[in-house]
Amino acid sequence: MKRTAIGSCLLLSLAACGSDNTNATTTTTAPTVTAPVTGAYDSALAFDKTKYTTINVTIDGVKTPVRWYKEVCYVGKPIAMAASQTSLTGAATTITNTACGYQSMNIFVPESVASNQDTAIYFAVNNGGWFASYIKASVTDGATFDSSASNVGAALKAGYVYIDVATRGRGLVAADGSYAGKAPAAIVDAKAAVRYLRLNDSAMPGNANHIVVNGTSGGGGLSSALGASGNSTDYLSYLKDIGAAGVTADGSSIIKDDVLAINAYCPITDLGNADLAYEWVYNILGTRQTVGSYPNPTGSAELMAKFVGYQAGLGLKNADGMALTATTMLVAIKAEVIRSAEIYLASGGTIPNLGENISYTAGGFGAPTTTRTYVNDWIAIDNATKKVTSLDMEKYLKFVATQATLKNTPAFDQTGLSITASSGESNMFGTDKQVYSNFTEYSWDHNDVAGDGIGYADTGYSWTQFSALSTSPQLKQVKLINPMAYIGTGATTAPYWYVRHGTRDRDTAFTVSINLSRALAADAKVQDLNYRLAWNQPHAGNYDVPEAMAWIAATLKAATAKGL
C-alpha cells in the first residue's frame, strides 16, 4: 500500500488543521497558512515519470520490454567528482558523469508493471571491495537473461523494479581533490537513495515500503549496515550535507529510510573487529603456520588475543542458548559447516568421500575462475543417510587457506604498516584530506610509515588517546558502517534477512557472518532470518538465484499479510 510522505494536515498550520471553522465569517484575521513541511531539496528531487527510454531484453527466451530511467540523481547536492578515478583493480578509469555519477540510480521497470505501485523494488548495490561504485547498468538493450542463473533476469521476470544504485566509497576523489568516499559515505548514499524512492513513491512504479536490498562482499556489508540502521538519526547530518530527500532545512527528517529485506552475500563488515576475527580463525588451530602464510606471528598473536574479549563483549548466544564466545566459536563454525553440507546433500548434491577429490572453482569475487581439486581429508559423509559423520576443523581451515591464499596480518587495516598492503580498507577512514588512516588499535599503534601523519610515531598519541579526541572521526566511521552497532537497538532494523557466506570464503572470518546472524536472531524486530554458510562457495554472491528469489517472493507475501 502506498503511503504519503507527509500528512495533508501539515500543509496548514496546526491551528487551522482540523479546527472547526464555522466562525470564519466573524474572524477579522485570515487563518495563518504556513509553508508545507518538506525536505529542503524535495521539490528538486521529484521523479519525472516520462523520462525513460524503452529497451528490450530477452528473459528465458521471452522478449521483455523494460523502461529505463537513466542515471537518476538521488541527492539534491551531489558532490562533483574528478574525471579520473582508480578502480578496485588499481586501474585508472575516466568517468563521464562527474556531476552525479556516484549518487545516481539506473531504474529498470518491466513494461508489464509500469502502472503497478505494489510490486517490490530490487535495490542492488555494487560497491565491490567497499570501493566507490560508479553508476552502472545491469540491464542493457538486447541483453539475454537466464532467470535460473541471473538475479537481474529473475528480478525482472518476477516483475520487480530493478535498480542499480551507485554510491561513494573508498578511493573516490572529488573534483576539489578531497577524498569524498570516506565512511560512512556509502551508507549515507544508500539511505539517500531509499529516501528518494520513498519521497517519490506515489509517482513511481513499485512500492517503496517493499525494498529488497541485494549486495555482495563490500556490497553485502553495505546492505547489512543499511538494513540494520533504518531511520537512525546518527546519519542525519550527513544526509543533510548531500541534500537527501526528506531532510528539512533545519536537519530533521520527515521521510523514513528503513528497508524491508536484505539479501546479502559474504558481507565484509564489522571492520573495526575484522582483523581480530581473521587472526583468531586462522591461528586458533595453527592454520597460518600450516599453510606457510604466516607473515607476522607476533601480530597474529596480539590480534587473536584481543578477539576473546571482543567476542565475549558481544553477548551473543547460539541457537541452543549457549553463550557464543571464543570458547564455543569453533563448535559454532563446525555446526554451520555441517548444516551447510547436510542441506546440500538433502538437495541432491554429492560430497566426495575421504581420500577423493573435492573440485572447486578458484577465483572468487571478480577474479577469473579455474577448476582445481583438493584431496578430501576433512569431511566424512554417510551418503545413505545424507549426514556428515565427522569433520576435522583443523583440516577444514587448512583446506580453506590452501584453495585461496590468506590475507596479510592485519587483514583489513593494512596501510601504513611496513607489511605489504595486499588489500585492506584503511583508505575508507580518516578525514577527507587524508589518503588513508588506520582505524583500529593494532594498526594505529603499529603504524611505522614515517610522515604519513598517522600512528603514534607521527602524532604522539596512542590509539586510546587519539581515538578519544573529539576531532578523531575513526571510531564514529567504524560504527556508522557496522550493522552490529545497530541490530537490537532503537533503529528500525529490516524485518527480513537472507545472508550467505561461502564455506570456502577466505576474505573475512566465518565469525563475522555467524555473529551477524546471532545478533539478528536475538532482535525481536527480525521476523525471518535465513542464514547459512553456502556449501563449497568462495567469496562470491548470487550463486543461488532460484532459492534467493523464492525467499524474496515468500517474504513479500509474508510482509503483505502482516500489513508491512
Task: Name the residues that contact ligand DHB, by CB under 6 A.
Answer: 128-130, 217-218, 268, 365, 412, 423, 425, 507
How far, CA to CA in Å, does 512 sit from each of 187, 220, 262, 266, 518?
A: 19, 12, 16, 9, 10
* Least gap, CB of 393 to ligand DHB (angstroms): 22
Say if CB 552 and CB 154 are below 8 A apart.
no
Query: Nearest-CA neighbor of 429 among 445, 419, 414?
Result: 414
* Minimum distance of ligand DHB from residue 365's CB (angstroms): 4
Task: Give Cα 471 to chain centroid, integer Å.
Answer: 27
CB 534 → ligand DHB: shortest distance, Å? 15
Q: Minimal distance in Å, beta carbon 507 to ligand DHB?
A: 4
| Cβ at position 274, least distance to ligand DHB in Å | 8
**CB 57 to ligand DHB: min, Å:** 26
Question: Edge-to-edge strand order for the sheet containing 261-265?
Answer: 144-145, 53-59, 62-73, 104-110, 161-165, 121-125, 211-216, 261-265, 496-502, 528-534
- Contact between residue 135 and residue 102 where contact means Cβ atoms under 8 Å apart: yes
Task: Between 129 and 272, name the residue whose CB sits nearer to ligand DHB.
Answer: 129
Closest distance between ligand DHB and the C-beta of residue 183, in Å? 13
Rounded Cα gap, residues 260 and 564, in angstroms: 8
Nearer to ligand DHB, 365 or 399 (CB): 365
CB of 239 to ligand DHB, least distance (A): 24
Q: Which residue is nearest to ligand DHB (CB)?
A: 217
Beta carbon nearer to ligand DHB, 59 or 274: 274
Contacts of 248 (CB under 8 A, 6+ apart): 37, 38, 39, 40, 254
Nearer of residues 100 and 277 to ligand DHB, judged by Cβ? 277
Quick check: 444 and 466 in contact, CB under 8 A? yes
Residue with cell 541485494: 214
Closest CA to 106 of 143, 58, 149, 146: 143
Q: Which is nearer to ligand DHB, 78 or 128 (CB)?
A: 128
What SS3 class is residue 40?
A: coil
Q: Would you say 47 or 412 has its CB closer to ligand DHB? A: 412
Q: 365 or 436: whose CB is closer to ligand DHB?
A: 365
Between CA 521 and CA 519 the distance in angstroms is 5
Bridge partners (DSSP) listed for residue 387: 382
Pick 217 or 443: Cβ nearer ligand DHB:
217
